[in-house]
């Protein structure tokens, strides 16, 4: 019989251990059921830039306890990147990941699976699961498609996605994901649908495995270089439409006194300001600012508001107007270029239909601090000025030496 005085923390730790053991046992059962192929194949997988994807090592021998992931741009390439710490586990905080970071700083290995954070177009290539001795078990053909020139269609305006292309040797079309959730609740919101470029051709490399026969993503290594260049003309797409979803009411666990205290607490509060965690930030005027929604990924439904103004994508999506100073990119980030005093206010972030965070922005002039000799910029300026002075002095002396030598050699010799 369990003692009633057992601390709750011990119970939670026991539950975590049980779930962790169950996960490991279930993973081992998968490896026992799935036999590695004798001939290495590559599964095709396509993503949009800035997305985070996971590649599971679906098979490995039972005696292998740690896996090593390898990355190659093309099959048989001499340049191979090793993605491992040789311990089978890399702990990484995804909040510290930036867009321009190298792939070695944007990966993690968990339960033999490779996770790549905020994938870039340069991450497209072959990913192989194996050992540090060079034995390969499973492979992926990853195609990360760009968002720079993505095609946008607003369904409410009657716009349609681009038509399929059919040629003699291949055909191009867009494969759409499911519609996202409504990005707001209780008010008019928007839904988004991401579409990636795919190609149908009978001349695909047989070593690459696809979900449908003769169909693969446009950047797949299964396509010849000639057809790949043709497929790059086809852009990824995104469709946007309006939606309306009700808000889920949160039930108060305690009624009576708790409900009365909530009423008293709300008295005197501004009714138009949501009660969400708010971050305060002071930004210098004239500088650019990028705001990210906490916990949001590019595939999530994210919306932005400024105070009581809805920043709908139909007006604030990047590319809608070339002269926009405030816009939302396809990674769900809010951009404010050349911040002005009129940008002051509170920006609210919706994620998956729920209001999750606020960002209170104040704008001011940047104070110019006094420079000291210990500042790196001061040291760099002194070195640059000294180097320029020495170089100019050397040129000046050299010119005068050459002129003197020239006059000496021109003087006639008297006999």
**Domain ranges across the chain:** 19-145, 151-244, 274-364, 369-400
**Per-residue model confidence (pLDDT) at position 233:** 78
Integer angstrom CA distances of residue 308 from 62, 116, 301: 58, 37, 19
Segments of the chain scoring below 70 in pLDDT: 1-35, 37-38, 85-105, 250-273, 366-377, 411-415
Q: Enter the pTM of the model.
A: 0.66
Residue 270 backbone phi and psi in degrees, to 5: -70, 120
Assign domain 274-364 to its CATH superfamily: Immunoglobulins (2.60.40.10)
Integer angstrom CA distances of residue 64 from 26, 35, 60, 113, 285: 16, 14, 7, 14, 57
3-class secondary structure, 404: helix
**Per-residue model confidence (pLDDT) at position 27:** 45
**Per-residue model confidence (pLDDT) at position 261:** 38
pLDDT tens digit string along 95-137? 443 444 455 667 888 878 888 888 889 899 999 988 878 788 8
Fold equal for 19-145 and 274-364? yes
Nearest CA-CA partner of 126 in 90, 81, 59:
81
**Per-residue model confidence (pLDDT) at position 258:** 43
Burial (CB < 10 A; 0-12, 13-18, 19+), residue 24, is exposed
Nearest CA-CA partner of 290 in 308, 304, 309:
304
**Per-residue model confidence (pLDDT) at position 273:** 62
Contact 255, 268 (CB under 8 A): no
Say how far residue 356 (Cα) sits from the centre of its chain: 20
Matching CATH number, 19-145, of 3.40.50.970, 2.60.40.1180, 3.40.228.10, 2.60.40.10: 2.60.40.10
**Per-residue model confidence (pLDDT) at position 166:** 87
């Amino acid at each position: 019989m369990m003692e009633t005085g057992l601390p709750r923390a011990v119970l939670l730790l026991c539950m975590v251990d049980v779930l962790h053991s169950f996960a490991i046992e279930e993973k081992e059962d998968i490896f026992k059921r799935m036999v590695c192929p004798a001939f290495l194949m590559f599964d095709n997988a396509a993503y949009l830039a800035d997305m985070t994807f996971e590649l599971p090592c679906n098979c490995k021998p039972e005696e292998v306890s740690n896996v090593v992931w390898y990355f190659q741009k093309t099959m048989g390439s001499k340049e191979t990147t090793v993605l491992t710490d040789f311990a089978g586990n890399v702990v990484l905080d995804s909040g510290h990941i930036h867009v321009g970071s190298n792939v070695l700083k944007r990966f993690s290995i968990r339960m033999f699976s490779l996770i790549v954070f905020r994938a870039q177009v340069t991450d497209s290539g072959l990913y192989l699961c194996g050992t540090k001795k060079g034995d390969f078990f499973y492979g992926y053909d990853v195609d990360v498609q760009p968002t720079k020139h993505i095609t946008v269609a607003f369904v409410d305006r009657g716009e349609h996605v681009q038509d399929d292309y059919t040629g003699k040797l291949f055909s191009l079309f867009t494969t759409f994901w499911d519609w996202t959730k409504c990005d707001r609740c209780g008010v008019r919101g928007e839904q988004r649908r991401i579409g990636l470029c795919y190609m149908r051709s009978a001349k695909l490399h047989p070593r690459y495995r696809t979900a449908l026969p003769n169909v693969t993503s446009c950047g797949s290594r299964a396509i010849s270089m000639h057809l790949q260049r043709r497929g790059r003309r086809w852009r990824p797409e995104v469709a946007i439409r309006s939606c309306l979803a009700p808000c889920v009411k949160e039930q108060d666990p305690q009624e009576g006194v708790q409900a009365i205290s909530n009423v008293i607490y709300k008295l005197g509060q501004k009714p138009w300001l949501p009660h969400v965690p708010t971050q305060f930030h002071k930004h210098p005027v004239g500088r650019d600012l990028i705001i990210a929604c906490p916990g949001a990924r590019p595939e999530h439904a994210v919306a932005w508001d400024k105070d009581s103004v809805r920043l709908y994508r139909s007006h604030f999506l990047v590319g809608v107007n070339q002269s926009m100073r405030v816009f939302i990119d396809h990674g769900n980030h809010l951009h404010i270029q050349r911040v002005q005093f009129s940008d002051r206010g509170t920006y609210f972030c919706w994620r998956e239909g729920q209001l999750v965070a606020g960002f209170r922005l104040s704008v001011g002039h940047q104070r110019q601090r006094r420079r000291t000799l210990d500042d790196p910029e001061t040291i760099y300026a002194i070195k640059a000025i000294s180097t320029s002075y020495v170089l100019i002095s050397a040129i000046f002396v050299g010119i005068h030496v050459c002129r003197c030598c020239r006059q000496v050699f021109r003087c006639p010799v008297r006999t």
